[in-house]
Amino acid sequence: MFLRFNTSDSTKPPGTNSTIIWILLIAAGLRLFGLTGFSLSNDELSALSRLQFSNVHDVITLGVYPDFHPAGVQLFLYFWTFCFGFSEFMVRLPFALLGVGSVYLLYRVGKLWFGYSTGILAAASLAVLEFPLLYSQIARPYSPGLFFTLLTVFFWTRAIFNGNAKSVFDKQQLLNFLGFSLSVSACMYIHYFSFILAGLICLTGLFFLKRTTFAPYMLSGILILLLYLPHQDLFIHQLMKGGVGGPDGWLGPPGEDAFSKFIDYCFNDSYQLKIIYFILFAGIVLSFRKEVKFSKFHAFSILLFILPFFIAYYYSIWKNPVFQHSVLLFSFPYLLLFIFSFFPKERTGTTLSLLLLAVLAGGLYSTVTEKKYYKTKHFSEFRGIAERVKQLDDQLGSENITRTISVFSSYYIQYYLDYYKHPVNFEQTSIMTKEEIVNFNNLVEQSTTPYFFYSYSNVYDDPDLDMIIRAQYPWLLVKESMLNSGLKLYGKVGKDSALNRLPAFTYKHGFETEAWKNELSFRDSTYKYEGKYSVHLSADKEFGPSYQKNIRELNLIPGSKIEISAAFFSSGSVNNAKLVLSVDKNGKSLIWVATNLDKYLTEKNKWTRVFLTVTLPNELSGDEELNIYTWNEKREDYFMDDFRMNPTP
C-alpha cells in the first residue's frame, strides 16, 4: 500500500518510521513542487530590496528599523543570498524546508503529549492543508516562526515533564533546557507573534516546576534575556511605531466574524473539508470518550490556539490593527493536536489507517483539486507584469511606449525585468500621493509616444488615472487583471474592441447657455478655458452652480459608471475645494463622492483638468436625482470651465 498501514489493531505502533517518512515526503513534494509557481509577493520583494547594502550595520539600520519585524529573518536572508544568490527558488528554499521540518516537529510534540496516533494525524494535516503549505512557500518569517515555536514546545515538554531526570545536572536534561533557551531566543528574533507564543509557553512552565527543574528553568530565562539584549533597542523602536494599521496604515481592524473566518481559512475555506474534520473529531470523542481523560496537555492545546487569537484580535480593536491569518500560523498546530488528542495511545492499526487515509486524501483533494492551489496566483503579481512589458516592447517597439507602474518600490518590478534580461525604464514607478498624481498628469500630457502603458501591483488602482490617460490616449488596447494588480495599454489610434465601450452619451458644458442651476450668477469672462465664459468661485461663495437631472431621464441604470471632469484655474493656492457628485432622494444623499482640486491643481495660472469616477449602486430605483457641483469649502478663489460627463452602462 502507498503508506505502510498495519491492518490489525495492536499496542505497538506499526510502520512508525516509514509512515512519518512518507508524510514528510508528501510535505516536501507539496512544498518544493511549484515553489516558483507564483510571483514573489510584495512582502518578499520588500525584504529583498532591504538587503541591498554592503554591510550588516546598514541592513539593520536601513533595512530592519523601518520595518515591523524583528531582525532575525532579514539577517538570515542577507547571508543566505550572499552565498546562494537572489533567484526565486533559492530565496524560498530554506523556508520550504523549515515547513517540512515543522511537520516532523508537530509529530514529535503530538507523540510526547498524546501519543503516536495523535502526532501522526496532526502531522499529516499540517502536511497537506493549504494554510501551512502557502506560508511554507514564501520567504517570510512564518515558516521559521512555526518551526521554532514547535521546537520550543518540544524541548520545553522534555525539560519540564521528563520524569526520568534524576538530578539538576542530568546531561540530557541540561541539553533539553539549552535547546529550549535557544529555541525561545530564535522565536523572539523571528516574529513578534512567535515571540508571544514562546512567552506564553515560558509562563505556563512556571506552574509545573519541580525541585529538579526550578534552577535550570530560571537559568534558561536569564540566558534568553541575555541573548535578546542586542535586539532591545530595535524592539523598543518598533514597539513605539505600533502596527501596520491605523490612520497611516493599510490594515483595518477585524470584524466580529473574525474567528469563524479564521476557522474557515484553517480548513481551506472548504465546507466539505470542515465536515470531514468535524466527523473525525466527533467520531474520535464519541468512540473513545471512556478511554481518554482530559489532561493538562489538552488544556495547553486549547490555550496555545485560543490566546494568540484573542491577543491579535483585541490588540487590533483597542490599539492598532495587526490581525492577519498569517500571524496565527504559529498557534494553528495546537488546534490540530486537540482535534486528534482523544485518540487512545494504545489504539493503532486499522482504525488509525482509515483516519490517516481520510486526512491525507481529503486534504490533498481539497488543496490541489478543489482549491486549485498550483493554478492560483496567491499574491499580487510582479513577474506577470514584467513578462507582459517585455512582450509588448518586443511587439510594438520599446521606444514607442511610455511605461508607468505604481508600486511601493521600483526594485519590485526591476527584480523581474532583470530576471527577463529586459533593461527598460519606467517613467514613473509610484502614483499614490498628491504630488505623484500631479506628476503623472503632466507626464501623460507631455507624452508623445503612440502608446502609454500603466500598471499597478499591491496598491490602490485609482480609477481617475484611467480618465487622465484617456484624455490623451483615448483607446484602451490591452487590459489584464490579476490579484490586486493589473495592467493597461492605451493608444492614440482607435481599435474596435469590447475594451472600448462607447458611453451611453457624452455631455459637455462650457457655461455659455445657463443650463446649470444658478449658473448666471457665477459667470465670469476674466479667465476661460474656451468660449466666452467660465464660472468664478470667489471667497464669498461656498457652492457653485449645479447640474441636476433625474436618473431615469438620463437613462442611467444601476451599476453604471459615470466619469466627470472639468478644467480649473486659480492664481492662488486652492487646498480644500472639491468637485462633487451626489445622488439624492427626498432630500437625503444616497451617494456623495468628491475629489479635492489640489489632487491635480498645483500650478498657479494654469488650466488643469480634474477627474472623478463614480459607479452607481445596484439599489437605485431611478427616481433619484443626480447632482454635480463644486464645493468651495474654505472660501478660496478659482474658476471652472469645460465640464464633461461620460456615463457608461
Question: pLDDT class for 361, splitting at 50, 70, 90?
Answer: very high
- Distance CA(337)–CA(114), nearest Å, equals 8
pLDDT of residue 2: 34
Distances (CA, A) of 204 to 153, 220, 345: 11, 14, 24
Q: Is the pLDDT of residue 249 over 70?
A: no
Q: How far apart are CA 214 and CA 196, in angstroms?
A: 22
Q: Say if residue 552's pLDDT is above 60.
A: yes
The 3-state DSSP class for residue 270 equals: coil
Residues 324-333 have a mean pLDDT of 96
Contact between 417 and 45 under an 8 Å Cβ cutoff? The reply is: no
Residue 537 has pLDDT above 50, yes or no: yes
The model's confidence at residue 649, banded by pLDDT at 50, 70 and 90, is confident
Mean pLDDT of the chain: 90
In this prediction, residue 535 has a pLDDT band, given cuts at 50, 70 and 90, of very high
Q: Which residue has the higher pLDDT, 389 or 587?
A: 389
Q: Reduced to 3 states, what is the DSSP secondary structure of residue 620?
A: coil
* Choice among 56-70, 241-255, 404-418, 576-590 with the minimum mean pLDDT: 241-255
Is the pLDDT at 4 greater than 50, yes or no? no
The residue that leads in pLDDT, 648 or 372, is 372
pLDDT for 504: 82
pLDDT on residue 7: 34
Q: What angle do CA 446, 450, 452 make, to 5 degrees?
A: 70
The predicted-structure confidence for 125-169, as pLDDT tens digits, reads as follows 999 999 999 999 999 999 999 999 999 999 999 999 976 666 666
Strands (E), 353-474: 401-406, 451-457
Which of 3-7, 73-77, 556-560, 590-594 is modeled with the greatest confidence?
A: 73-77
pLDDT at 441 (0 to 100)? 92
- CA dihedral in degrees (277, 258, 186, 71; nearest 10)? 140
Encode pLDDT of 441-500 as tens digits.
999 999 999 999 999 999 999 989 999 999 899 899 999 999 999 999 999 887 656 567
Specify the pTM.
Answer: 0.86
For range 267-282, the mean pLDDT: 95
Q: Is the pLDDT of residue 55 over 70?
A: yes
- What letter represents residue 378's amino acid? H
Four-residue CA torsion sign, 597, 603, 604, 605: negative
CB 112 within 8 A of CB 295: no
- Beta carbons within 8 Å of 21's beta carbon, 6+ residues apart: none
Question: What is the pLDDT, as a whole number, of residue 10?
Answer: 41
What pLDDT, on the 0 to 100 scale, is given for residue 245? 54
pLDDT in tens, 212-240: 889 999 999 999 999 999 999 999 988 87
Lowest mean pLDDT among 66-70, 147-151, 155-159, 625-629: 66-70
Higher-confidence residue of 171 and 423: namely: 423
Distance between CA atoms of residues 109 and 343, nearest Å: 15
Q: How far is CA 448 from CA 402, 439, 444, in A?
A: 8, 16, 9
Which of 85 and 620 is assigned the larger pLDDT? 85
DSSP 547: E
Q: Is the pLDDT of residue 415 over 90?
A: yes
pLDDT at 413: 96
Q: Is the pLDDT of residue 340 over 90?
A: yes
pLDDT at 428 over 90: yes
For residue 242, what pLDDT band results from cuts at 50, 70 and 90?
A: low
164-173, 197-206, 618-627: least confident range: 164-173
pLDDT at 12: 47
